[in-house]
Amino acid sequence: MEVLKIEGGRPLRGTLEVSGSKNASLAILSAVMLSEGPMVLHNVPDITDVRNKLDLLATFGLQWNWHEGSLYIDASTLRPEEPPESLVRPIRTSFYVLGPLLARVGRAVLPAPGGCRIGARPVDYHLKGLALLGASIGLEGGRYVATAPRLHGAEVYFDFPSAGATQHLMATATLAEGITVIHNAAMEPEVVALARFLTAMGARIEGAGTSTITITGVARLNGCEFRIPADRLQAGTYLLAGCLPGSDVTVSGILPEHQLALVNKLGEAGADVTEGADWVRVRYNGRMRGIRIKTMPYPGFATDMQQPLSAMLTLAQGASVVEETIYESRTGHVQELNRMGAQMRVEGRAILIAGVPRLQGAPVEASDLRAGAALVLAGLAADGITTIKNVHFIDRGYENIEENICRLGGSIQRVANGGARSASQRR
């Protein structure tokens, strides 16, 4: 079993770039099934979620290969095979291949996706949306069996602006006959990235990035070449490291507007934040002030940044209140941070934090991806050694995390069977 071993207490200083966006890549790696032409994707992150998604695509007959860091994909031969549950259950975006399969081959059988440690994560919006586009979908023995001889445009309204359902429906509707309008659509940058990818393949989409998206169906999509934008959530995590005592971190190659909510809250907590056309710099020397945060759909404060920011707020002067409105149980970091000396408690949908002057290193366990990121930040801030178990969660979304942190002057190692090994051996 691998653990991350962190020696805390060192300031992080310097500039780094982050890899391509996990969530944009995963959405695009479902939409590739819509095209019959060759596709080339640049800047796809080398993370386990992407590798698992590619394994899933292979079960449908898609061919892909990496060449000099870019991903070459051929979806011209597509088979509506039933993938094994092991490839679908743990990865939520596996489910987003259902619509593209229906659009291309008219039927699909897919095991139901599982819940996870941050909440139940139902797929009802996806199912209702696909039904409106003309699909018949039934649940039989834990598998969704779907058919759609022909998909047609429809008016779709989501009760909540779900990122995944917006991406799934928008992609599927590109090959439906007629016009689809998605109301109360998610406005996340990853929705915009997917729309840009689909448009590059010949899709007709208007309004991506607003709450109403209009898609005019086309008969077929072509191949294209596309660059995945930088991961705003990895970027946000490293910017938070700029709030460690004495630290000064710049993340470049990003769009500062995607960091607006985080940057605003860091400013409120007293951090010194500056930005340019494609970079953001966070410096701090002292103790943050306690603040209130409420997670919201984009452009509100991202739920994915809630856990990493909570970790930093454990060391703030005064109290903080973190209200999680997106997921019912994204609180797996709380008890682990308390093991390190934090004073946090969960009350309903809120995490109440009483700031403490110091954290102490301790053996802790990641319960999910962003809880893992929170523990890494806490470990970097704490006195002494922190070891983090369940590194596989962190590997789902952070490429080269040890290299990046070491480059900034932090001390972090991946340790397997009692010995350290370099990250390059992981590839």
Strand partners, 249: 14, 282
157 binds ligand EPU (CB under 6 A): no
119 binds ligand EPU (CB under 6 A): yes
Between CA 218 and CA 125 the distance in angstroms is: 24
Q: How far is the CB of 215 from ligand EPU (least distance, A)?
A: 18
Q: What angle do CA 344, 347, 353 make, to 5 degrees?
A: 25
Stretch that binds ligand EPU, among 52-60, 124-132, 140-148, 331-339 (CB under 6 A): 124-132
Question: What six digits make up the tokens of 24?
Answer: 């944009």
Q: What SS3 class is residue 257?
A: helix
373 binds ligand EPU (CB under 6 A): no
Whichever of 13 and 121 has its CB closer to ligand EPU, that residue is 121
User: Binding to ligand EPU (CB under 6 A): which residues in 233-292?
Assistant: 233
25 binds ligand EPU (CB under 6 A): no
Q: Output phi, psi for 140, to 5 deg.
A: -125, 110
Contacts of 413 (CB under 8 A, 6+ apart): 4, 5, 402, 420
160 binds ligand EPU (CB under 6 A): yes
397 binds ligand EPU (CB under 6 A): yes
For the question of residue 116 being annotated catalytic, the response is yes
Whichever of 119 and 209 has its CB closer to ligand EPU, that residue is 119
125 binds ligand EPU (CB under 6 A): yes
Whichever of 282 and 305 has its CB closer to ligand EPU, that residue is 305
* Interface map 293-332 toward ligand EPU (x if CB under 6 A): ----------xx---------------------xx-----
Residue that has been written with the tokens 């040890």 in this structure: 402
User: By the 8 A CB rule, do 39 and 225 touch?
Assistant: yes
Between CA 372 and CA 370 the distance in angstroms is: 5
Among the listed residues 116, 224, 243, 406, the single catalytic one is 116
* Interface map 333-372 toward ligand EPU (x if CB under 6 A): ------------------------------------xx--
Q: Nearest to ligand EPU by Cβ — which residue?
A: 164
Q: What angle do CA 158, 162, 167 make, to 5 degrees?
A: 100
Q: Which amino acid is at 139?
A: L
User: By the 8 A CB rule, do 258 and 285 touch?
Assistant: no
Q: What SS3 class is residue 116?
A: strand
DSSP per-residue letters across 275-310 = E-SSEEEEEE-S-PBP-EEEB-STTSB-HHHHHHHH
Catalytic residue annotation: 116
Residues within the interface to ligand EPU (CB under 6 A): 23, 26, 92-93, 119, 121-126, 160, 162-165, 186, 188, 233, 303-304, 326-327, 369-370, 397
